Structure 1
Amino acid sequence: MAAIRSAFCSNGGNSEMTMTASALKERSLLGLKELSSSEIGSILDRAAYWESRTEKVVPVLKDRFVANMFFENSTRTRFSFEMAEKRLGAEVLNFSAAVSSVEKGESIHDTVRTLESMGIDAGVIRLKPVGLLADLATKVSMPLINAGDGNNEHPTQALLDLYTMKKHFGELKGLKVSIIGDIKHSRVARSNLWALQKFGAEVKLCAPEIMQAPELGSYAPYVSMDEALCADVVMMLRVQLERHAEGLLRSAEQYRLEYGLTEERAALLAPHVIIMHPAPINRNVEIDDAVVEHPQSRIFKQMSNGVPIRMAVVERAMK
């Protein structure tokens, strides 16, 4: 923030705001669709650096303050961010909408501006309304990191997915990646699609018709379950059981039989194929219990890779 304030104070007129807005845009992470492959690559490289460090805490962000603002629950993602922030030596404030004045009618915008006015240097934010984050980013003077917004994007999840694939295969170019499940409601699918294609990976989608996002069909084809399993990476998505009331599923068991990664299907995978899942997992729905820790599964490795990725992203926001 000091660099931004310095740039703002040392110039005059409209150029001041332009410089400030440009610096904030470069340090924020709102999504991967508009991010270049070189910028994504630099984040992956920095994550590798942080993973290689043996110290638990490297206080490069000592005396800096970051707020985790979760207007939608996600214990796993919040803990991963908090671990990353504390390993960098930052002071961490955790905000939960469930125990906040947001429930009393205070807007998300006012809440973020309130926390900003208290002197935080960056905000990690997760919310449900699509489009609100992008608008909010134009109205605050601190970097924002998208921890999931509606069914739009979940950039740090996709970054840790790419990092996991790259570590295993060496490179992303030419990889065949199948994303299977509730594409319609998945921000993970979208961020992975945008990012993987920038690196020359071939992405295919697989979902029941009622769970498809037709607008993504022009970017990646929808294929059958049998064809989806002929890939280098099989990425299963969480079945959003809370949407059963909307008629998306006839039953969890029926979904498992038609689109789940069962033990029988896992046995048919080529030996080089890796199994991924963004978690949380509905065991015995989208993936059988025994397959979660299958020798070809990288699910828990994905989770551990989330910390160095988020260290790189948080450091980038407050460098």
Structure 2
Amino acid sequence: MTEQLDAQGRLRHLLTLEGLPRSVLERLLDRAQAIAERGAGAAPLAGRAVCTLFFEPSTRTRMSFQRAAQRLGADVLNFDASTSSTTKGETARDTLKNIEAMGVHGFVVRHADNGAVDALAAAAAPGTALVNAGDGRHAHPTQGLLDMLTLRQAKGADFSALRVAIVGDIRHSRVARSDLHALRTLGIGEVRACAPAALLPDDATLDGCALYDDLDAALDGVDAVMMLRLQRERMEEGLVPSLEAYHAAYGLTAARLRRAAADAVVLHPGPMNRGVEIDDEVADGPQSLILRQVANGVAVRAAVLEALLGDPPAAA
């Protein structure tokens, strides 16, 4: 895998949260909190260019990266695969290298294939930085960071006593993987993973987690509930009998949420299937932090872009 840190411990790329030191995660979270409270300062990326290179659809991630880059003073180029030369057979690597040749050295990449962003990072020139905005089922590191920032704002920086439930299609979720990497690195007390057996991963993703197939039991006393989108193609694959059956067993309702701690919070990365994995009353209720997650996405992505493309801190 492409090295994410340089010899001084500064970020070169952000491809995954797996293996990053706790100090790096906390530094990014601290900077994101400062940006959320006070802004990013006087255009630290003025004169630099950032390209959102998305080969998959996106709303929140693409737009928040664009907003973050704008707040930092960067020029933003938006790549649309449906109207690009990829429709004529150009490879993702050639697309990257051509845009790089125009003087662009910051890329935010979303791709359907596991490992695709890592491969592009390996092909990039020295001084070019890539952020993984989601690759296949593999990783979505900035979503993991914004989820941690949201949880930290609600519950404090010490995660050691927290109990968190992750519910839904964990098997196919890059968000769940990045959340789990971050939670472990930040010292989470307990993680409960709840899903039907067909939607649980068959690798080491859930090592150390308590596994549940009963949502009511999984919610008992937890401090945070992280819901995941049910991808509707899972019904076509026969992994879920019906949306109604899934909601009956694994949908988060107001009645079910009452089993959690009284001050429990609810997160969801979006897009939501209302009435499937989460009810309106919960999604729009007082314990929901879903829109705060969206707002935090801008601050987190600004902190990441600044760390990758900004000038290194002056020597003391």
TM surpasses 0.5: yes
Find the counterpart in structure 2 of residue 137 from structure 1.
Answer: 121
Give the deviation of 1:91 after TM superposition. Answer: 0.2
User: Is the CA contact 2:6–2:12 (under 8 Å) kept in the aligned structure 1?
Assistant: no
Change (3 A) 1:100 1:259: same
Cα distance between partner residues in 2 of 1:305 and 1:21? 27
Change (3 A) 1:144 1:87: same
- 1:178-201 deviation per Cα after TM superposition (whole angstroms, max 9, x unaligned): 110000100000001011011110
Find the counterpart in structure 1 of residue 219 from structure 2.
Answer: 229
Residue 218 in structure 1 maps to residue 194 in structure 2 = no
SS in 2 for 1:68: strand
Find the counterpart in structure 1 of residue 32 from structure 2.
Answer: 47
Give the deviation of 1:27 after TM superposition. Answer: 2.4
1:66 corresponds to which of 34, 50, 67: 50
User: Is the CA contact 2:10–2:307 (under 8 Å) kept in the aligned structure 1?
Assistant: no
Give the deviation of 1:106 after TM superposition. Answer: 1.1
Give the deviation of 1:219 after TM superposition. Answer: 3.5
Cα distance between partner residues in 2 of 1:24 and 1:125? 23
Give the deviation of 1:24 after TM superposition. Answer: 10
SS in 2 for 1:158: helix
1:11-22 to structure 2, matched below 5 A, reads none
RMSD of the alignment, in Å? 1.9
SS in 2 for 1:148: strand
1:109-258 to structure 2, matched below 5 A, reads 109-141=93-125, 142-171=128-157, 172-201=159-188, 202-215=190-203, 216-223=205-212, 224-230=214-220, 231-258=222-249
Number of positions where the alignment pairs a residue of Structure 1 with one of Structure 2: 300
SS in 1 for 2:210: coil
Unaligned runs of 5+ in 2: 311-316
1:35 corresponds to which of 20, 23, 33: 20
Give the deviation of 1:22 after TM superposition. Answer: 5.3
Cα distance between partner residues in 2 of 1:238 and 1:170? 26
Identical counterparts, % of pairs: 44
Residue 282 in structure 1 maps to residue 273 in structure 2 = yes
- 1:160-208 deviation per Cα after TM superposition (whole angstroms, max 9, x unaligned): 0000111111122221111100001000000010110111102121111
Cα distance between partner residues in 2 of 1:117 and 1:144? 15
Cα distance between partner residues in 1 of 2:8 and 2:99? 20
Cα distance between partner residues in 1 of 2:10 and 2:93? 18
- 1:258-306 deviation per Cα after TM superposition (whole angstroms, max 9, x unaligned): 0010222123332111011011100000001111011111111111111
User: Is the CA contact 1:32–1:191 (under 8 Å) kept in the aligned structure 2?
Assistant: yes
TM-score, normalised by the number of residues in structure 2: 0.90
Cα distance between partner residues in 2 of 1:174 and 1:58? 39
User: Is the CA contact 1:228–1:234 (under 8 Å) kept in the aligned structure 2?
Assistant: no
Unaligned runs of 5+ in 1: 1-17
TM-score, normalised by the number of residues in structure 1: 0.90
Cα distance between partner residues in 2 of 1:300 and 1:25? 30
Residue 300 in structure 1 maps to residue 291 in structure 2 = yes
1:87 corresponds to which of 63, 67, 71: 71
Cα distance between partner residues in 2 of 1:147 and 1:256? 29
User: Is the CA contact 1:249–1:255 (under 8 Å) kept in the aligned structure 2?
Assistant: yes
User: Is the CA contact 1:234–1:274 (under 8 Å) kept in the aligned structure 2?
Assistant: yes
Give the deviation of 1:212 after TM superposition. Answer: 0.6
Give the deviation of 1:246 after TM superposition. Answer: 1.1
User: Is the CA contact 2:14–2:132 (under 8 Å) kept in the aligned structure 1?
Assistant: yes
Change (3 A) 1:256 1:39: same
SS in 1 for 2:191: strand
Aligned partner letter, 1:306: G
